[in-house]
Amino acid sequence: MRTTSPQAELKDYRMPPSAVPETDVELLPIAERNELKASIKILLKQHNAVLVAHYYTDADLQMLADETGGCVSDSLEMARFGIRTEAQTLIVCGVRFMGETAKILNPEKRVLMPTLAAECSLDIGCPSAAFNALCDAHPDRTVVVYANTSAAVKARADWMVTSGSAVDVIRHLHAQGQKFIWAPDQYLGQYVQEQTGADMLLWRGACIVHEEFKGIELEQLRRQHPRAKVLVHPESPAAVIRQADVVGSTTGIIQAVITLDAEEFIVATDKGIFHKLRELAPGKTFIEAPTAGRSATCKSCAHCPWMAMNTLRRTVQTLESGANEIAVAPEIIKRANLPIKRLLDFTQQQKQLAGDA
Ligand code: SF4
């Protein structure tokens, strides 16, 4: 009798292109953008608020966050900054799970977002009821979830990880003989599995932005730019990751651009990051990794439609009205805090060890 493996039985939760919203970038005359930026600066002061922005958001929002004492970073640093800052209101410019993480770590602070409609295909593709059922069916496995999950899913997890910390955390736990349920990004999960050799049951979700990068078209592009270094975010498919000179989180990609002795880079992640790359390495050339090609169904074309919902106009409206506040139930906050704190403590220890070495 043939039996199927638990992995083969898992449902495919990837979002079909037809369900992905159009990317609606806010195109405004410069004068209007400048007026909105000036209003945001005043409103931030009035409300004792800071902007906590992701690298994939609008370049003007990133600049404003830097100029006004907020932060521009990846999701792990966004979480850390929310704890560090004395501001009592956090304006999280990113997607909803980032706002929820900020609230879980800072329940006493007010967390607002320019829009609560900014979702993430990974978060949407990991409904908590189905996820809990998987965990119930495999009680012998340690539950590790990616940051890109809802507060309810995090509340069921033993550990939360980010793309920059996933390999280190799984390697550490694998060395203790642990087996894992991993959710929700299957490509990042496969990459971590390859790097660590761990036994991982992989949820079948994907990021609609990174999943669109194409291996064959990347090979062709590399031939046209033989000197370029290829930097790839690990949410990308294996055929793309295999061609990388550096596989890294957004922070890892930025560090590679600063430290590598190269003038040209092909970058496979959301194109919102190009603002920071050009700012930090103005003399270097950055080329978008290909999402289009004969086989492409390119919908996002390397820019997250949900990140693009964080506009200057919506930021002003949120600051003025106090709308779009993130609410997380106290019992979920209590439980979801554990896997996040585990990661923050782990990464802090790793930093100290690196400093001592
Ligand atoms: S870029 Fe991908 S992982 Fe990031 S928020 Fe958008 S859909 Fe989610």
Q: Tell me the pLDDT tens digit for each residue of 54-72.
A: 999 999 999 999 999 999 9
Closest CA to 40 of 51, 25, 29, 28: 51
Evaluate whether residue 179 is within a structural domain.
yes
| C-alpha–C-alpha distance, residues 281 and 303, integer Å | 21
| C-alpha–C-alpha distance, residues 238 and 241, integer Å | 5
**Sign of the C-alpha dihedral computed for residues 317, 320, 326 and 329 taken in this order:** negative
- Residue span of the structural domain in which 230 resides: 210-288
Closest CA to 324 of 114, 149, 99: 114
Same domain, 108 and 161: no
Q: Tell me, using a 6 A CB cutoff, whether residue 148 lines ligand 1.
A: yes
Same domain, 196 and 236: no
- State both tokens at 8: 């083969």
Evaluate whether residue 258 is within a structural domain.
yes
Q: How far is the CA of 21 from the centre of ligand 1 (A)?
A: 12
Q: Whose CA is nearest to atom 2 of ligand 1?
A: 207
Same domain, 34 and 101: yes
Q: Whose CA is nearest to atom 6 of ligand 1?
A: 304
Ligand 1: residue of 115, 307, 309 to mutate (most ligand atoms within 8 A of CB) is 307
- State both tokens at 209: 């932005």
Closest CA to 325 of 96, 90, 63, 112: 112
Which residue stretches of the chain have pLDDT < 50?
none
Number of domains in the chain: 3
What are the tens digits of pLDDT across the range 154-174? 999 999 999 999 999 999 999
pLDDT reported for residue 1: 60
Same domain, 139 and 113: no
Evaluate whether residue 8 is within a structural domain.
no
Q: How far is the CA of 67 from the centre of ligand 1 (A)?
A: 25
Same domain, 116 and 126: no
Same domain, 316 and 283: no
pLDDT reported for residue 2: 58
Same domain, 255 and 338: no
Same domain, 265 and 316: no
pLDDT reported for residue 353: 80
Evaluate whether residue 15 is within a structural domain.
no
Domain boundary among 261, 288, 315: 288
Same domain, 72 and 129: no
* CATH number of residue 224's parent domain: 3.40.50.10800
Same domain, 203 and 349: yes
Cα–chain center distance at 278: 20
pLDDT reported for residue 76: 86
- State both tokens at 308: 């693009």
Evaluate whether residue 234 is within a structural domain.
yes
Q: How far is the CA of 281 from the centre of ligand 1 (A)?
A: 25
